[in-house]
Amino acid sequence: MSRYMIILNPIAGAGTAHKELPRIRELLTQNNLNYDIVLTEQPGHATELARQAAVSGYDYIVAAGGDGTSNEVLNGLMQHKQAEGFFPVMGIIPVGRGNDFAFGANIPAGVEDSCALLASLSRKWIDIGRIQVAGEPEALYFGNGVGVGFDAVVGFLAARMKLKGMLSYLVAALKTIFIYFKPPEVRVDFDGSSMTISALMVSVMNGRRMGGGFMMAPGANINDGLLNLCIVSEVPQMAMFGLIGKFMQGTHEAESAVQTRQAAKVTITALKGTLPVHADGVTVCEEGEQITIELLPRSLEIITRVEPE
C-alpha cells in the first residue's frame, strides 16, 4: 500500500494550517490513505523532512501549508533527486496565505477537495525553475515564480503581517508604494536578447499568480517548457495604484510600462542599486547583484487535476 508523508507547517496561513490539522487527519482517514504527519518546527525544516521521507521510501510527500512550505518540500525533493536520481511524487494541501503554486498547478483550494485529490492519484509532470544567486554556492528551486524589486519587497512585508490571504499582500503593497527605494537599473538577458531598464519589478513566472491574487502571467502554463517574464518599468508613485488593479484583473499586459517575454533562461544584473528577490514567497536575497534563472522542463511529478488535452 502506498505511503504518504504529510509535512504540515503549523504557522502557515497565520495559524490556519494548525487549526485544519484535525480535519486533515479525518479526511485522509476517510479516503483510506496510509499516512504519517510531521509538523515543521523552524524555517527550512520542511526541506530536511522531505529529504528524510524520500530516503525512508515514502511514495508521496505532501506539503500542507502555503507557498513557503511547498517551496521547501520541493527543494528537498529536488535535492534528493540530484543525489539519488529519483524522488517521490509531490502533493499539496493548500492551507497557507497565498497558495499560488497550488493555483498554478491546478490543485483545488479547499481542504476536502485537495485531500480527495491525493487519494485519486491523478498526476502529471510539471516544469521547475532553478535560481542561482551570484556568489552563492547552492542553487534554489521554485515551482511558481521569482519576484525582483517591488514584488519582492511586498512579499517581505506580507510575511511579517498577522493578516491572512490577499489582504496581507494588499496592505503590504500600499505600504511599499510609500517606502520603496528608487527602482534599480537592471540588465535583463534572456535567450540571446537583452534589455536595460529602470525596473519597478521583474517577475519570472512558471505559474500564473503571485500574492494570492496578482495575475503576473495570466497565460502561463506550468508545463510548456518556458518561463514568462513580466517586466515593469519605473512609473510615478501615484500610477502604481492603477497598476495594482490591473495586475489583480490580469489586464496589465496592455499597459505601456509593462513588457512581457518568454524564455528558458534569464539573467538579471543590477547596474545601479541592488536586487531584492524572492522565489515562491521565500526570501532569496535582499541586496543581490545578479541572479540567473533557468527552467527545468517536466522535472517534478505532482498530484493534480489533469485536464483533457
Question: Class for domain 133-296, per CATH?
Answer: mainly beta
List beta partners, residue 39.
8
Contact 126, 222 (CB under 8 A): yes
For 3-121, CATH number out of 3.40.50.720, 3.40.50.300, 3.40.50.10330, 3.30.70.990 equals 3.40.50.10330
Position 47 pLDDT exceeds 60: yes
Comparing CA positions, the residue from 276, 288, 264 lying closest to residue 133 is 288
Q: How many CB atoms lie within 10 A of CB 30?
A: 12
Q: Tell me the H-state helices in the chain.
A: 16-30, 45-55, 67-84, 100-104, 111-120, 150-159, 165-179, 239-249
Percent of all residues in the chain with a pLDDT value above 70, rounded to a whole number:
96
Cell numbers for 256: 505601456
Domain ranges of the chain: 3-121, 133-296
Confidence category of residue 156, pLDDT binned at 50, 70, 90:
confident
Q: What is the pLDDT of residue 181?
A: 53
Dihedral sign (CA 85, 89, 95, 97): positive
End-to-end alpha-carbon separation of the chain, Å?
30
Mean pLDDT of 142-163: 82
Q: Is the pLDDT assigned to residue 272 strictly greater than 90?
A: yes
**Dihedral, CA of residue 273, residue 277, residue 283 and residue 285, to nearest 10:** -40
Question: Which tens digits make up the pLDDT trace of 50-106?
Answer: 999 999 999 999 999 999 999 999 999 999 998 887 789 999 999 998 899 999 999
- pLDDT class for 236, splitting at 50, 70, 90? confident
Give the per-residue pLDDT at 68.
94
Q: Which amino acid is at 286?
A: E
> What is the average per-residue pLDDT within 240-258?
91
